[in-house]
Amino acid sequence: MTLFIEIKDLRVGFDGVDVLKNINLEVKEGEILGILGKSSAGKSILMHVLRGVEAFDDVTGSVIYHLSRCSNCGFIDRPSKVGLACPRCNSHFEKLEADFAKLPIHDPLRKDITRRIAIMLQRTFALYGDERVIVNVMNALQEIDELGPNAINVAADLLDQVNLSNRMMHIARELSGGEKQRVVLARQLVKNPILLLADEPTGTLDPKTADIVHETILNATKDFKMSLIITSHWPKVIEELSHRALWLEEGKILKIGDPHEVAAEFMKEVGEIGDQEKVDIGKPIIRARDLKMTYFSLDRGIVRAVNDISFDVNESEIFGLIGVSGAGKTTSSKIISGLLRPTSGSIEIRIGDEWVDMTQPGPDKKGRATKYIGILHQEYSLYPHRTVIDNLTESIGLDLPYELGERKAIQTLMTAGFTEKKAKEILTKMPDELSEGERHRVAMAQVLMKEPRILVFDEPTGTMDPVTKIEVSKSILHARKELGETFVIVSHDMDFVAQVCDRAALMRLGKIVDIGETDAVLSKLSEKEREEALEGIVKELK
């Protein structure tokens, strides 16, 4: 295979911190290279360096593209085209080398090369939301001055290429996440690229949809004879898609080679939560007796969302509420956190040595307890235009001197699973500069900053990949160990529940049908319930 990209001793720094360190790598023409790594490993920075459209102030080393260029019209193509005829003017291709680490950002040659490089980014769909799908692709043709008389047919052909001709006339913002990613790919294929950079292209999609997008990317890679560099947290993705893989950790390449071997080594390092120190479980802190929550629906008539349940949750315990969609888990958690008042029954929270009746409103009743209850919703959000430290202090109403706020923020981020060094590094960052796992831990820290005694988490693992899920599991266990907090966790994710929960309650049709040690309760799940739980995760992801 012909040498295509040659990276030598690449180093990239930001604010005095090296985010890529001594990267040495070769990519062959037509190769599919998978880059595996945890959050903040440097994967996205490497992709942006390869993309070549932005300047980096602190960069050393070389990023050399080995290419061919037409001696007459300047058309850029793959290195294997050297000596062959140009398809545009029939002149001959000559050998070309361009170093993106040294070539000025406004150099016309750089622009000519980047026109042949396509990119797909995680979470960034970059579409004209109010335009039809085919118009989005035609706009991409216009952006590269290729909007000729045959443009509509070219656009239609590209939508066929990504198996989206059945959505051609749909409005872009009304598509699903997987469909949007395929429109993004169609827009990128307009360039007739020689390289596709796919940076976590399916990181927020459910597994079935991700498989469809991956298949589409692979087919496009073959049809357009592109090289493909794809990053992922998911070892399975790297194993199934790539010819060769590398493991990137804190800006360094730890291993490179066979995808299965690299993935196995990676999961050996990050795939275990490890033995946890024993935590002393205290006396009951939540006490529910004969709880009922009934409402009337025009479609379903009388609905018994919670139907006569009783349970205790002990201090410093991690307690799971599990079951399929509609079992009553979320309604029960809202009653615990004071967001819903039950139709009948009692729910009490112990504050110190006194029991507070959560069914009675007022600052001396329910209000006395709710200030000690922290809630992390499944659809959590951080203030996008505020730094991490502002998200942890000002935006949640903590009026602290800056020095004290900074100290408390660092301590709380460490409790949520960050190292002290990393906690200090991210204080001045904006949420969109963080990975998904880092944002989740900052959101958890935002809850912990208010010093709650009870934390209620609704589907905390959401769309997470295996590595991020392990990180969040560790952060919950670490927070419990450091602070002795009590957790109530609502989840469809039975593997996650098995890893973190001391006890669990299995709910069916508003009732608790089993309660006890987590493993024992999980063993009572039927095959149908296990399947429906997985389907529930997929449904909520969509």
Residue 486 placed within a domain: yes
Collapse the DSSP code of 510 into the 3-class scheme (helix H, G, I; strand E, B; otherwise coil) and give the result: coil
The C-alpha atoms of residue 495 and residue 472 are separated, in whole angstroms, by: 13
Number of domains in the chain: 3
Based on the fold, state whether residues 66 and 197 are members of the same structural domain: yes
Per-residue three-class SS string for 208-254: HHHHHHHHHHHHHHHHCCCEEEEEECCHHHHHHHCCEEEEEECCEEE
Residue 396 DSSP class: G
Where does a domain end: 433, 451, 469? 451
Based on the fold, state whether residues 209 and 358 are members of the same structural domain: no
pLDDT tens readout for residues 66-75: 999 999 999 9
Based on the fold, state whether residues 100 and 200 are members of the same structural domain: yes
pLDDT tens readout for residues 355-376: 999 999 999 899 999 999 999 8
Phi, psi of 290, rounded to the nearest 5 degrees:
55, 40
Sheet architecture: strand order including 227-232? 117-121, 195-199, 227-232, 32-36, 244-249, 252-257
The C-alpha atoms of residue 500 and residue 513 are separated, in whole angstroms, by: 21
The C-alpha atoms of residue 94 and residue 76 are separated, in whole angstroms, by: 10
Residue whose entry in the numeric block shows the structure tokens 């935590």: 279
Residue 170 placed within a domain: no
Based on the fold, state whether residues 363 and 247 are members of the same structural domain: no
The C-alpha atoms of residue 392 and residue 387 are separated, in whole angstroms, by: 9
Q: Which helix (H) or strand (E) holds 465?
A: none
CA torsion angle 152 156 162 167 (round to 10): 110
Domain that holds residue 431: 382-451
The C-alpha atoms of residue 432 and residue 443 are separated, in whole angstroms, by: 13
Where does a domain end: 238, 270, 302? 270
pLDDT at 541: 43
pLDDT at 540: 46
Residue whose entry in the numeric block shows the structure tokens 């360039």: 191
Which residue in 22, 9, 11, 8 sits closest to 45, CA to CA? 11
The C-alpha atoms of residue 503 and residue 494 are separated, in whole angstroms, by: 13
Which residue in 1, 115, 3 sits closest to 65, CA to CA? 3
Based on the fold, state whether residues 246 and 393 are members of the same structural domain: no
Where does a domain end: 270, 294, 326? 270
Residue 63 placed within a domain: yes
Q: Which residues contact 389 (CB under 8 A, 6 or more apart)?
A: 405, 406, 409, 427, 428
What does each of the 542 residues of the chain score in pLDDT, given as a tens digit? Answer: 799 999 999 999 987 889 999 999 999 999 999 999 877 788 989 999 999 998 899 999 999 999 999 999 999 999 999 999 999 999 999 999 999 999 999 999 999 999 999 998 765 557 877 889 999 999 988 888 888 888 899 999 999 989 888 989 999 888 877 888 889 999 999 989 999 999 888 766 666 777 888 888 999 999 899 999 999 877 888 998 999 999 999 899 999 999 999 999 988 876 666 666 678 899 999 999 999 999 877 777 788 899 999 999 999 999 999 988 778 999 999 999 999 999 999 999 999 999 999 999 999 899 999 999 999 887 777 888 999 999 998 766 777 788 888 999 999 998 887 889 999 989 999 988 887 778 888 988 999 888 899 999 988 876 566 777 787 888 889 889 888 899 999 988 888 899 899 999 999 999 999 999 999 999 988 777 776 665 554 444 44
Residue 101 placed within a domain: yes
pLDDT at 440: 82
pLDDT at 96: 97
Based on the fold, state whether residues 105 and 242 are members of the same structural domain: yes
In whole angstroms, what separates CA 320 from the centre of its chain?
23
* CB-CB neighbours of 121 under 10 Å: 19
Residue 361 placed within a domain: yes
Based on the fold, state whether residues 514 and 420 are members of the same structural domain: no
Residue 148 placed within a domain: no
Based on the fold, state whether residues 366 and 301 are members of the same structural domain: yes
Residue 258 placed within a domain: yes
Prediction pTM value: 0.69
pLDDT at 123: 56
The CA–CA distances, whole Å, from 37 to 234, 251, 262, 417 equal 9, 10, 11, 18
Based on the fold, state whether residues 470 and 495 are members of the same structural domain: yes
CB–CB of 533/492 below 8 Å?
yes
pLDDT tens readout for residues 110-146: 999 999 999 987 655 578 778 899 999 999 888 888 8
Based on the fold, state whether residues 457 and 444 are members of the same structural domain: no
Gyration radius (Cα) of the chain, Å:
27
CB–CB of 429/397 below 8 Å?
no
Tokens of 121: 């980014």
Amino acid letter, residue 388 = V
Based on the fold, state whether residues 205 and 309 are members of the same structural domain: no
Give the whole-number percent of the chain exceeding pLDDT 90.
Answer: 54
Residue 283's region, left for phi above 0, alpha for psi from -120 to 50, else beta, is beta
Q: What is the CATH number of the domain that holds 261?
A: 3.40.50.300
The CA–CA distances, whole Å, from 138 to 117, 120, 149, 471 equal 18, 18, 11, 42
Residue whose entry in the numeric block shows the structure tokens 């307690």: 319
Residue 252's region, left for phi above 0, alpha for psi from -120 to 50, else beta, is beta
The C-alpha atoms of residue 332 and residue 14 are separated, in whole angstroms, by: 46
Per-residue three-class SS string for 80-129: HHCCCECCCCCCEEEEEEEECCCCCCCCHHHHHHHCCEEEEECCCCCCCC
Based on the fold, state whether residues 198 and 219 are members of the same structural domain: yes
